Structure 1
């Protein structure tokens, strides 16, 4: 159930539309909200941000969003009392006028490229990104706007286009505010990928990571986060400091020693996608591209294979992990990829807990339900993995 509170172009409150249902339970997916308002009320709306949720975490529930309209709808609006005061952590796209400014930038860039825009559609809006599709006679493009801690995505896409072309969406334009303009990749996101497709994803990704080894310093210089060795331990402790980490106290105490032992396994640091699940791979059976490089960093390659196999049963994950280890051992004789994976099993969810803690530190309170439950959940997984995989003597 959706309640949409409307403001005008100046940000003045107008009231709320009657509540309505949408088919998608995922809070950040707002395309159905925009379509529902257009269908029922004949008005175009830009969804700005989440105001409230009646449950502590997604998906589903009764959600209240803020939306902006140029022309108020004909239907009577319900008076509402909401806090619309500014907040220092509010994203540019979550403010009145923000979507219009970003769309104008994207349309201008596409016009410069000889691809004038004839239609736009809002797909996603939340604390991590705003995503719009822009269509024209010369094809479609995607506008993505991200917060400051994700702005290195443009640098990664430039590097990929130069060094391993075709492995990611083509970057058409970018600015220094977190806006990037991407060419359309045909197909669908591969959430339903089977074991064979995951194996192919892992094999392709190995080629990319092997190429990136010699470029690690250049990627860091371009702004990609440096989470190599001791830097990873310091980064994790920094973001988890405000949270209750008692469940992983021993893991944190031994983290530097564990990462030293990982380094001794002989695998190099490289470009890590950071969220390599099948839903972040898009393809049509002929072409496959890895999307959403916002979580990327320079660090240990095992983090990506652990993410790719995270939801699989051990019997299904084992062949993918064995193949991953065999590739690295063939390229680096004398290395011990299996031991590196075992050592990093508890570190992978620990790092994710720190990622979610970083998100929480960078968003306004109304958006905390997006991620608040993720920190303790990841800490619990890290503790369970640490109990199963003890630090070698």
Structure 2
């Protein structure tokens, strides 16, 4: 599957100049704009993509998509006349404004200069309502600029904590039975061998400059690789048990216990939740029973699928902590196993439960997983609703269908 793209150009004053002829790009995902930049370059135009304008289908991927992009110089090719609404919107992200990408790249370039790493090339990678990402090449290797919306700006706090926390933890109310030198699986370096996302600088408007993590995103990882991901992540979560108040003070969302129920209901207000009415009605009682299972609250990644692990299959680093929160550790194992066949998923959950029983004696991890299985997609429905409430309408197609789909999955998982 591919995309057909129309790029509508504006100048530095925000005046519409017209549209480039439509062209095809090989990848279908609307937020990926590196191929869009390359396609415009084939027309002799250097652009900074600002934002999605519209598409000919209600949701990604693929189709015919229109973007707004800024140019510095007059295009050398004829442009097609076009009518487009260029009015402001109060929820527009800083990087989606005229001049926004240039300001962010200038900040990152100056920070790297201060670090003795002059920038030799810049490549825009992604832009949508959840982030904007650029690669900046330097003589000592690439760095990455990520810009985050207000509801995700706690990611740098998580990354700083991951960098600062020691490899071994003293007793913080949970028996820590892991000797990382013996038990840490080499696949996930974050479990104690130092392979973590390096934070180079943090700036205004959600900007964070990070070091390069080699490898590729591990989409499609099999059962064995996911076992290793779970083992490494468990070590991080055990270390975080005694640090939850510090993380919350740093801005990480607090979704512990009954607070999770309130948070879900607040964000789903105004949405049609008919499909999950019974689950929502019994949510507080369910969360009380989860608490009684005896597992501690900790740092939760929030989106721990293999695509958020970067590496080569033998070593890797968990990335993209923008969905992180403080809450129940079972949410991450549920996310890690949700697309596996039932037998493989059960083996991963069983191993995860064995670790937690060892580190939290008297707990019942399997029961906690069973109770939270329908809550996991219910929480995701609330996350998508939060996205929709915080972004401008032109970008709603990214998420508008996710809310009812997640509610339907939650209702199905709650059925006896």
Instruction: Give distance in 2, aligned partners of 1:44 and 1:363.
Output: 27
1:20 aligns with 2:48: no
State which of 115, 123, 130 in structure 1 corresponds to 2:132.
130
State which of 244, 249, 260 in structure 1 corresponds to 2:272.
244
1:322 aligns with 2:350: yes
State which of 41, 57, 60 in structure 2 corresponds to 1:58.
60
Residue 287 of structure 1, CA deviation? 3.4
1:113 aligns with 2:98: no
- Tell me if the contact between 2:44 and 2:77 (Cα under 8 Å) persists in the aligned partners: no
SS at match of 1:62: strand
Instruction: Give distance in 2, aligned partners of 1:256 and 1:209.
Output: 24
- Tell me if the contact between 2:60 and 2:398 (Cα under 8 Å) persists in the aligned partners: yes
Residue 360 of structure 1, CA deviation? 0.2
Instruction: Give distance in 1, aligned partners of 2:393 and 2:91.
Output: 9
- Tell me if the contact between 1:2 and 1:65 (Cα under 8 Å) persists in the aligned partners: yes
- Tell me if the contact between 2:334 and 2:373 (Cα under 8 Å) persists in the aligned partners: yes
Q: TM-score, normalised by structure 1?
A: 0.97
Residue 285 of structure 1, CA deviation? 4.5
SS at match of 2:403: helix
SS at match of 1:154: helix
- For each residue in 1:221-251, what CA deviation from the matched residue of structure 2 results, as whole angstroms up to 9, or x when unmatched? 1100000011100000000011000111111
- For each residue in 1:95-133, what CA deviation from the matched residue of structure 2 results, as whole angstroms up to 9, or x when unmatched? 110000000000011011111100000000000100000
Q: CA RMSD in A?
A: 0.9
Instruction: Give distance in 1, aligned partners of 2:140 and 2:12.
Output: 31
Q: Which residue of 1 aligns with 2:83?
A: 81
Instruction: Give distance in 2, aligned partners of 1:140 and 1:384.
Output: 45
Q: Which residue of 2 aligns with 1:233?
A: 261
SS at match of 2:23: coil
Q: TM-score, normalised by structure 2?
A: 0.92
SS at match of 2:332: helix
Instruction: Give distance in 2, aligned partners of 1:72 and 1:192.
Output: 44
Instruction: Give distance in 1, aligned partners of 2:33 and 2:109.
Output: 21
Instruction: Give distance in 1, aligned partners of 2:139 and 2:107.
Output: 19
- Structure 2 alignment gaps of length 5 or more: 168-189
- For each residue in 1:333-365, what CA deviation from the matched residue of structure 2 results, as whole angstroms up to 9, or x when unmatched? 110000000000000000000000000001111
State which of 2, 6, 11 in structure 2 corresponds to 1:3.
6
Matches within 5 A, 1:111-190: 111-163=113-165, 166-190=194-218
Residue 320 of structure 1, CA deviation? 0.3
1:383 aligns with 2:373: no
- Tell me if the contact between 2:156 and 2:202 (Cα under 8 Å) persists in the aligned partners: yes
Matches within 5 A, 1:228-377: 228-285=256-313, 287-377=315-405
SS at match of 1:249: helix
Residue 93 of structure 1, CA deviation? 0.1
Task: Give structure 1 regions of 4+ aligned residues with deviation exceeding 2 angstroms.
Answer: 164-168, 284-287
Residue 45 of structure 1, CA deviation? 0.4
Instruction: Give distance in 2, aligned partners of 1:193 and 1:245.
Output: 33
State which of 32, 37, 40 in structure 2 corresponds to 1:37.
40
- Structure 1 alignment gaps of length 5 or more: 389-393
SS at match of 1:237: helix
Q: How many residues are paired up? A: 387
- Tell me if the contact between 2:225 and 2:313 (Cα under 8 Å) persists in the aligned partners: no
SS at match of 1:57: coil
Residue 168 of structure 1, CA deviation? 3.1
- Tell me if the contact between 1:122 and 1:131 (Cα under 8 Å) persists in the aligned partners: yes
Q: Which residue of 1 aligns with 2:49?
A: 47
SS at match of 2:200: strand
Residue 74 of structure 1, CA deviation? 1.3
Q: Which residue of 2 aligns with 1:391?
A: none
Instruction: Give distance in 2, aligned partners of 1:363 and 1:141.
Output: 27
- Tell me if the contact between 1:167 and 1:290 (Cα under 8 Å) persists in the aligned partners: no
State which of 94, 97, 106 in structure 2 corresponds to 1:95.
97
SS at match of 2:252: coil
Residue 167 of structure 1, CA deviation? 4.9
Instruction: Give distance in 2, aligned partners of 1:43 and 1:119.
Output: 17
1:220 aligns with 2:251: no
